[in-house]
């Protein structure tokens, strides 16, 4: 029996199994396929960007030295194209400002315009991709240690305020050029290594800086803006200026997009349980999915219970038009292109899994107080034939199924990645 016939027969069986629970599998595939997931460009080059940085600051560290790191625009976009050929569904590409294409000109971050990113716009148009964007508040000589927008040095703080304004303009330019919203995410690593005794002063400067960046309220429909929190970072273990409470409060007060990252909380906290809590008070949310191992380690996204529960919360509550989903990890210990494929395929698999769940039966059991049935259905859902539907979905979109795509990666590694030195 050919692979295509095997996948088709598996799909027919799965459609019957899910159909018995009232799930329309074909409709679930269509809905899953249309939901975009933003793929981060920085996995391909260890977050170094194109500004000549040889190391990272801001508490960011990439471990590993697997052969094949992309070193320029051509190599990075080539790797992105190959990886995305292994991933079904709608996609966006997430850029940092440090990936500007300056063409030999001396342009600093406080003077960036859309022109420095025109090659990315052309690339996205050709590939049918949306674009998201991030100011880069790290790995730069104008950082005041680990401080940017909260720095007491007014000259440095002014530089970073202007950078933020420029990035908002670039995000609006992306949205107009591509024809879909560009989410602009602000992460600042600001904080202190040891105990801070005047936390209010740092946060007051941060607030004043952000208020100036967001004073112009135009274009937020084209380029929604989010402020990202973090629990701590390397070198800023004791005090983080933009904590979760700060970022969420700022978003609610200023009607911005709320921001959650699965790696930016205490290990016992479940981000899946925060989604509906936050969405009661904001219009939109940016959710970055990573895999924290004991801390914000940015491991490759795995298909685990928490990932599935996050997608359940989004899809079961009909929030997919209000929640922007992106991935954020970097791993140089394995094939970087494979890391993209693994993480993105897992995210898309969890989206499909949420839409294949017998949600109507689960809600009916819960509403009727039949918690025994609810638990039984939740557990039995785990052994329903999601894999058979996933393989059919991949095949129907011209993407290699599970068990087959890794051979393509290995071939690409030998033909392309191993030749880089």
Q: Is 230 a catalytic residue?
A: yes
Q: Which of 261, 313, 331, 401 is catalytic?
A: 261
Question: 295: phi > 0 → left, psi -120 to 50 → alpha, else beta; which?
Answer: beta
Q: Is 9 a catalytic residue?
A: no
Q: Is 42 a catalytic residue?
A: no
Rounded to 5 degrees, what are φ and ψ at 237? -75, -30
Q: Is 187 a catalytic residue?
A: yes
Q: Which of 288, 320, 391, 413 is catalytic?
A: 288
Q: Which of 40, 96, 140, 264 is catalytic?
A: 264
Q: Which of 328, 331, 401, 413 is catalytic?
A: 328
Q: Which of 79, 116, 132, 228 is catalytic?
A: 228
Q: Is 264 a catalytic residue?
A: yes
Q: Is 305 a catalytic residue?
A: no
Q: Is 261 a catalytic residue?
A: yes
Q: Is 312 a catalytic residue?
A: no
Q: Which of 45, 46, 79, 298 is catalytic?
A: 298
Q: Which of 42, 160, 187, 340 is catalytic?
A: 187
* Angstrom distance (rounded) from CA 35 to CA 186: 23
Q: Which of 132, 146, 190, 296 is catalytic?
A: 296
Q: Is 328 a catalytic residue?
A: yes
Which active-site residues does the annotation give?
187, 228, 230, 261, 264, 288, 296, 298, 328
């Amino acid at each position: 029996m050919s692979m295509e016939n095997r996948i088709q027969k598996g799909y027919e069986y799965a459609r019957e199994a899910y159909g018995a629970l009232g799930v329309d599998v074909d409709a679930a595939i269509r809905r899953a396929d249309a939901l975009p997931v933003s793929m981060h460009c920085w996995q391909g080059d260890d977050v170094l960007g194109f500004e000549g940085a040889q190391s990272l600051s801001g508490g960011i560290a990439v471990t590993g030295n697997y052969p094949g790191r992309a070193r320029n625009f051509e190599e990075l976009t080539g790797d992105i194209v190959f990886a995305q050929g292994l991933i079904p569904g709608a996609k966006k590409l997430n850029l940092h400002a440090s990936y500007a294409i300056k063409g030999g000109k001396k342009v600093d971050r406080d003077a960036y315009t859309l022109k420095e990113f025109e090659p990315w716009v052309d690339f996205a148009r050709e590939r049918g991709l949306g674009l998201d964007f991030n100011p880069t508040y790290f790995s730069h000589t104008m950082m005041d240690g680990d401080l940017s927008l909260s720095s007491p040095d007014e000259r440095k703080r002014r530089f970073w305020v202007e950078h933020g304004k420029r990035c908002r303009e670039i995000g609006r330019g992306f949205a107009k050029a591509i024809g879909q919203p560009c989410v602009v995410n602000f992460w600042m690593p600001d904080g202190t290594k040891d105990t801070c005794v005047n936390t209010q002063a740092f946060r007051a400067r941060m607030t004043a800086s952000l208020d100036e960046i967001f004073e112009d309220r135009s274009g937020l429909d084209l380029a929604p803006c989010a402020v990202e929190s973090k629990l701590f970072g390397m070198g800023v273990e004791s005090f983080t200026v933009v904590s979760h409470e700060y970022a969420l409060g700022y978003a609610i007060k200023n009607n911005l997009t709320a921001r959650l990252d699965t790696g930016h909380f205490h290990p016992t906290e479940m981000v899946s349980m925060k989604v509906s809590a936050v969405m009661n008070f904001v219009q939109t949310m940016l959710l970055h999915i990573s895999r924290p191992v004991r801390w914000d380690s940015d491991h490759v996204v795995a298909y685990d219970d928490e990932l599935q529960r996050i997608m359940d919360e989004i899809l079961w509550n009909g929030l997919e038009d209000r929640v922007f989903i992106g991935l954020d990890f970097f791993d140089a210990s394995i094939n970087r292109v494979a890391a993209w494929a693994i993480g993105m395929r897992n995210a898309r698999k969890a989206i499909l899994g949420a839409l294949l769940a017998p949600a109507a039966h689960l809600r009916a059991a819960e509403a009727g107080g039949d918690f025994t049935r609810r638990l039984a259905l939740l557990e039995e859902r785990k052994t329903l034939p999601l894999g058979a539907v996933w393989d059919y979905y991949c095949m129907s979109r011209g993407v290699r199924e599970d068990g087959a795509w890794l051979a393509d990666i290995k071939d690409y590694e030998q033909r392309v990645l191993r030749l880089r030195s």
